[in-house]
């Protein structure tokens, strides 16, 4: 077994000074003293209040919209509807590194022919006060023709289901179907011969699973302030995971030149994937353009639930076969994911990662992307992964128990490793799944005794991680301090990790490096903080920018010393000449910075890149639960998250990612769900009735950092933000099964559902 | 020559071919060659695919070299939350 210490020792660069330490994050004091400025915190002179009118119907044709009475109300300065947004063609086009269908986007921002879910935006006003804005909304006359709706994914796939889009033809089927349906896409991945593999098996387990849509539940609602001048220069301040992407989307929807729109990212109170799209921003800009005054829009919590993207609800069928000694011979899955009102569920990554933790020769996965009368789904931490891997990890657990093999041993026997071919084609490079399983097997948690009504579960998780475009600039100030400018909004401590890498490269104190997240006009395009990419991709840009500055510092020293440039090297924060008896004294960064004006001007390092060389991250979680047989309440009593970080640049914030992902997964497993009435309306759009875990609901999440370095990153970074939300769903289901002897195939395992199953003495499948 | 493996969804747009051998020195050349050979595939390639070369996944990396005798897989692009 490789210990943590041993795997750490395999890190790409030894003898690190700053990387791997735990200083306080640069934004820490502002966050805990209330100084940090979030989306709703900006105030401008003459600012108006924007409010949205939303559809009360889950599906309705919009015959007409009349805003004249609202516009006549004193204090109302502008109103917008579908008529204020140009229609755009249905095609997937690249936008800020994403493939976007602007026809769908413009319709999601503002309903056009039809309202497709309860809460769909229909009109908006800007007024001098919230009270006037609310009154104005009540004066807007919308003539709706209510239509039959469909909420459930399986019902939406039926041939006679109400159609959301009369022109939606299933993609991925040749020849294309003649009739439209709610099935937007079918896809499949195959490896080997799954039917033959199943015939080899001594045991075949076939199960179906259902998960409900869950919201990202960021504490800060969507919020923005827009301002558009008379010559159409626009400014936008907003809470987002990627202000450059917001700029691209808004410029397209409003017909603006990208250079005329400057977007500044506020501090962000959580995003988890849900702040990678636009909702309010184009509308606020449209209102500001009409009113020629700043407009602030802030969603209520109810609006966040009704009108911003949750993760999809799913139906997953899994069939796996194994020999008596625990070798998995084949695996099949059929995934059906709700996309919400517009196509684009994360069915593709869901299908690709379902069986990724296993070295399998025979696999077949089929996926369906299905539209329903719900809000359009948005990314949520490892989008698509938790649901498919939940189903697979439950079946793996059942195989282990049926064959009387320890569940960790069974996973070790079948675990993916370097050289394992994935169902989507390529073979894995160096990965750390086995190391996480070995850590689990030898962790004292795994051997600790259980009390009555308690059970223990284990599950693994996988996520790809991504790279992408990032820029960074490093300004050397004349007192020897450094200002680091990046373009990725800081959600989980990325400013700290980026400054640590800059300090390491420069050989100066971490406190000497001050970061700033630049607005879109101050630094080149930088993709989202998403896909577990910021520390990896923006980190690569920071390292390159720092090395650019170091080259300039060495050149200045060589010029001062009148020595050849190649004879100067950078070490421990100083320029040094080749060792010799008459070598000049080293020149520190501060000394070189002081004379920068006399040696050629400011020293600024810069880098722009499209980061490649990404590596995936695997994790293994162990959880103990206790079930109250009288109430059905499942309590998590102990939880350990083990994951391969590649290299933890700032271990505390890596651990924070493990803990946060685990807690969100606990909520997904035990409580969170959208509850719809027969009328197609959401019955629980508030934190009172949509129950996310709070601090008193969970134990301290124990963490184990495994570090199997990514050989394509100077420090070995992989990316860690998404994998930890995947294992909890199955780990908890497996633990509940151990406690009760009942396997739940439907999430969440909320008290009413658990109690009913206890009374029935069976699962709720 | 690089050996290019197509997913089932792309294969059905390439006359059922699951593997293609072709000569290309960069990802851009490889995608262009594939699009020329299988016109139905071209719109999907233009929309964007990830390309794995000998196990390493590249996204939007037109100029990445494709070594001779390499194993290439075309995949859907990956995003994230």
- Which among B8, B61, B71 has the least Cβ separation from residue A610? B61
Q: What is the pLDDT of residue A3?
A: 40
| Alpha-carbon distances of A165 from A307, A594, B61, rounded to whole Å | 19, 65, 35
- The whole-angstrom distance between A83's CA and the closest CA on chain B is 29
What number of helices (H) and strands (E) belong to chain B? Answer: 3, 5
Residue whose pair of structure tokens reads 């204090």 in the numeric block: A75
Q: What is the pLDDT of residue A12?
A: 58
Cβ pair A117, A319 in contact under 8 A: no
Paired tokens of B22: 């072709």
Residues of A whose CB is below 8 A from B61: 610, 612
- Which among B7, B13, B61 has the least Cβ separation from residue A424? B7
Q: What is the pLDDT of residue A95?
A: 62
Mean pLDDT of A605-621: 97
Please report how many Cα atoms fall inside a 13 Å half-sphere around the Cα of residue A626, on the Cβ side.
Answer: 11
- The whole-angstrom distance between B54's CA and the closest CA on chain A is 7
The rounded distance, in Å, linking the Cα atoms of A236 and A261 is 7
Q: Is the pLDDT of residue A107 over 80?
A: yes
**Residues facing residue A237 across a β-bridge:** A225, A264
> Yes or no: is domain A1-6+429-465+615-765 CATH 3.30.310.50?
no
- The whole-angstrom distance between A628's CA and the closest CA on chain B is 34
The rounded distance, in Å, linking the Cα atoms of A389 and A411 is 13
Q: Hey, which bits of A270-401 come out as E strands?
A: 295-298, 310-311, 314-322, 328-340, 363-371
What's the length of chain A?
765
Mean pLDDT of A593-608: 97
- The structural domains of chain B, with segments of one domain joined by +, span 2-75
Say whether B64 and A276 touch across the interface (CB within 8 A): no
Mean pLDDT of B59-79: 94
Selected residue of A194, A424, A615, A711 to mutate for chain B interface (largest B Cβ count, 10 A)? A424
Mean pLDDT of A546-556: 98
pTM of the full structure: 0.96
Please work out, in degrees rounded to the nearest 5, the angle formed at the alpha carbon of residue A63 by the alpha carbons of A109 and A127.
50
B2-5 and B71-75 strand pairing: parallel
Residues of A whose CB is below 8 A from B7: 187-189, 424-425
3-class secondary structure per residue, A708-744: CCCCCCCCCCCCCCCHHHCHHHHHHHHHHHHHHCCCC
Kind plus residue range of the DSSP H or E element containing B37: helix B27-37
Q: Is the pLDDT of residue A430 over 60?
A: yes
Predicted confidence (pLDDT) per residue in B36-59, tens digit: 999 999 988 988 899 999 999 999
Predicted confidence (pLDDT) per residue in B7-32, tens digit: 888 999 999 999 999 999 999 999 99
Predicted confidence (pLDDT) per residue in A17-76, tens digit: 999 999 999 999 999 999 999 999 999 999 999 999 999 999 999 999 999 999 999 999
The rounded distance, in Å, linking the Cα atoms of A590 and A478 is 7
Give the ipTM: 0.95
Residues of B whose CB is below 8 A from A469: 60
Residue whose pair of structure tokens reads 């020559």 in the numeric block: B1
Mean pLDDT of A478-492: 97
Say whether B56 and A712 touch across the interface (CB within 8 A): yes
- Report phi then psi at A523, rounded to 5: -150, 155
Selected residue of A97, A425, A529 to mutate for chain B interface (largest B Cβ count, 10 A)? A425
Q: What is the pLDDT of residue A582?
A: 83
Q: Is the pLDDT of residue A114 over 60?
A: yes
Give the CA-trace dihedral at A657, A661, A666, A672, to 10 degrees.
Answer: 130
A264-296 burial string, b = 16+ CB within 10 Å, else e?
Answer: bbbbbbbbbbbbbbbbbbbbbbbbbbbbebbbb
Q: What is the pLDDT of residue A139?
A: 98
- The structural domains of chain A, with segments of one domain joined by +, span 1-6+429-465+615-765, 467-611
* Percent of chain A predicted with pLDDT > 70: 97
Please work out, in degrees rounded to the nearest 5, the angle formed at the alpha carbon of residue A643 by the alpha carbons of A640 and A649.
115
The rounded distance, in Å, linking the Cα atoms of A704 and A437 is 11
Q: What is the pLDDT of residue A94?
A: 63
Q: Which residue of chain B is at minimal alpha-carbon distance from A463?
A: B80
Q: What is the pLDDT of residue A4?
A: 43
- The whole-angstrom distance between B34's CA and the closest CA on chain A is 18
How much is the mean pLDDT over chain A?
Answer: 95
Paired tokens of A433: 């799944």
Q: Is the pLDDT of residue A387 over 90?
A: yes
Q: Model confidence at A9, in pLDDT bands (50, 70, 90)?
A: very low
Q: Model confidence at A97, in pLDDT bands (50, 70, 90)?
A: low
Q: Which 3 state secondary structure label does DSSP give A371? A: strand
- Report phi then psi at A204, rounded to 5: -125, 125
Q: Model confidence at A93, in pLDDT bands (50, 70, 90)?
A: confident
Q: Alpha helix locations (H) across A144-203? A: 153-156, 194-200
- The whole-angstrom distance between A352's CA and the closest CA on chain B is 9
A542 contacts: CB under 8 Å, gap ≥ 6: A472, A474, A484, A486, A498, A501, A502, A607
- Which among B52, B64, B76 has the least Cβ separation from residue A426? B52
Q: Is the pLDDT of residue A99 over 90?
A: no
Q: Which residue of chain B is at minimal alpha-carbon distance from A469?
A: B60
The rounded distance, in Å, linking the Cα atoms of A156 and A149 is 9
Say whether A612 and B12 touch across the interface (CB within 8 A): no
**Residues facing residue A740 across a β-bridge:** none
Predicted confidence (pLDDT) per residue in A311-325, tens digit: 999 999 999 999 999
Paired tokens of A753: 């559902």
- Fold annotation for B2-75: Ubiquitin-like (UB roll) (3.10.20)
Cβ pair A193, A332 in contact under 8 A: no
Q: Is the pLDDT of residue A765 over 80?
A: no
User: A-contacting residues of B 7-36, CB under 8 Å?
Assistant: 7-9, 12-13
Q: Which residue of chain A is at minimal alpha-carbon distance from B75?
A: A424
Q: Which residue of chain B is at minimal alpha-carbon distance from A378?
A: B81
CB atoms within 10 A of CB A175: 6
Paired tokens of A400: 């282990």
Mean pLDDT of A296-318: 97
Mean pLDDT of A605-632: 97
Any idea which architecture A467-611 has in CATH?
2-Layer Sandwich (3.30)
């Amino acid at each position: 077994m490789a210990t943590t210490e041993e795997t750490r020792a395999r890190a790409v660069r030894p003898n690190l000074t700053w990387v791997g330490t735990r200083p306080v994050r640069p934004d820490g004091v502002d966050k805990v003293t209330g100084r940090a400025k979030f989306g709703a915190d900006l105030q401008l002179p003459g600012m108006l209040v924007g409010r949205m009118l939303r559809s009360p119907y889950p599906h309705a044709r919009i015959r007409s919209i009349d805003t004249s009475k609202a516009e006549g109300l004193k204090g109302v300065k502008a109103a917008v509807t579908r008529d204020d947004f140009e229609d755009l063609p249905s095609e997937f086009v690249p936008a800020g590194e994403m493939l976007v269908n602007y026809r769908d986007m413009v319709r999601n921002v503002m309903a056009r022919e039809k309202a497709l879910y309860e809460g769909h935006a229909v009109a908006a006003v800007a007024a001098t006060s919230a009270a006037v804005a609310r009154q104005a909304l009540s004066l807007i006359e919308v003539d709706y023709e209510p239509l039959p709706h469909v909420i459930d994914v399986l019902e939406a796939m039926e041939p006679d289901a109400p159609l959301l889009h009369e022109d939606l033809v299933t993609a991925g089927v040749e020849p294309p179907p003649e009739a439209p349906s709610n099935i937007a896409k079918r896809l499949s991945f195959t490896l080997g011969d799954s039917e033959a593999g199943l015939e080899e098996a001594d045991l075949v387990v076939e199960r179906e699973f259902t998960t409900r849509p869950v919201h990202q539940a960021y504490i800060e609602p969507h919020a923005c302030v827009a301002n558009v001048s008379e010559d159409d220069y626009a400014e936008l301040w907003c809470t987002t995971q990627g202000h450059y992407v917001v700029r691209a989307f808004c410029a397209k929807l409003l017909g603006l030149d990208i250079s005329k729109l400057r977007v500044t990212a506020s501090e962000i109170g959580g995003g988890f994937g849900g702040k990678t799209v636009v909702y309010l921003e184009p509308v606020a800009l449209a209102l500001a353009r009409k009113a020629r005054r700043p407009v602030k829009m802030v969603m209520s919590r109810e609006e966040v639930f009704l009108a911003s993207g949750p993760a999809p609800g799913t139906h997953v069928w899994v069939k796996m076969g194994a020999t008596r000694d625990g070798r998995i011979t084949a695996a099949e899955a059929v995934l059906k994911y709700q996309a919400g009102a517009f196509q684009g569920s994360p069915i593709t990554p869901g299908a690709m990662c379902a069986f990724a933790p296993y070295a399998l020769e025979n696999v077949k996965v089929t996926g369906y992307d299905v539209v329903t009368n719900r809000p359009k789904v948005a990314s949520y931490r490892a989008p698509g992964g938790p649901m498919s891997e939940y189903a697979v990890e439950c079946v793996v657990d059942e195989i282990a128990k049926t064959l009387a093999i320890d569940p960790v041993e069974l996973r070790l026997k079948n675990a993916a490793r370097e050289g394992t071919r994935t169902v989507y084609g390529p073979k894995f490079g160096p990965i750390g799944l086995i190391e996480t399983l070995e850590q689990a097997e030898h962790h004292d948690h795994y051997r600790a005794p259980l009390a009555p009504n308690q059970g223990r579960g284990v599950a693994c998780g996988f996520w790809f991680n991504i790279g992408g475009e990032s820029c960074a600039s490093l300004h050397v100030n004349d007192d020897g301090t450094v200002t680091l400018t990046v373009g990725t909004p800081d959600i989980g401590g990325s400013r700290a990790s980026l400054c640590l890498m800059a300090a390491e490269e420069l050989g100066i104190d971490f406190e000497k490096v001050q970061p700033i997240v630049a607005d879109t006009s101050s630094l080149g395009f930088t993709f989202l903080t998403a896909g577990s990419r910021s520390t990896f991709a923006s980190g690569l840009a920071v390292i390159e920018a720092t090395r650019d500055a170091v080259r300039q510092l060495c050149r200045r020293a060589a010029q001062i010393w009148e020595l050849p440039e190649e004879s100067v090297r950078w070490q421990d924060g100083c320029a040094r000449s080749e060792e010799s008896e008459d070598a000049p004294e080293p020149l520190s960064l501060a000394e070189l910075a002081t004379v920068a004006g006399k040696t050629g001007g400011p020293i600024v390092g810069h880098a722009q890149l499209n980061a490649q060389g990404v590596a995936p991250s695997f994790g293994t979680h162990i959880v103990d639960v206790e079930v109250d047989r009288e109430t059905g309440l499942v309590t998590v009593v102990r939880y350990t998250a083990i994951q391969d970080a590649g290299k933890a640049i700032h271990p505390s914030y890596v651990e924070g990612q493990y803990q946060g992902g685990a807690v969100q997964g606990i909520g997904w497993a035990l409580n969170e769900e959208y509850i719809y009435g027969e009328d197609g309306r959401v019955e629980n759009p508030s934190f009172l009735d949509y129950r996310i875990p709070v601090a008193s609901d969970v134990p301290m999440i124990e963490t184990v950092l495994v570090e199997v370095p990514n050989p394509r990153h100077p420090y070995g970074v992989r990316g860690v933000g998404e994998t930890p939300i995947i294992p909890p769903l199955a780990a908890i289901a497996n633990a509940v099964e151990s406690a009760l002897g009942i396997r739940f195939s439907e999430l969440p395992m909320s008290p009413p559902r658990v109690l009913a199953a206890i009374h029935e003495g069976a699962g709720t499948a | 020559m690089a050996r290019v493996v197509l997913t089932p969804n792309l294969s059905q747009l390439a006359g059922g071919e699951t593997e293609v051998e072709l000569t290309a020195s960069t990802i851009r050349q490889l995608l262009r060659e594939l699009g020329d050979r299988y016109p139905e595939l071209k719109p999907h390639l233009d929309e964007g695919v990830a390309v794995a070369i000998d196990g390493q996944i590249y996204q939007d990396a037109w100029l990445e070299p494709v070594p001779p005798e390499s194993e290439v897989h075309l995949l859907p692009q990956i995003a994230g939350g």
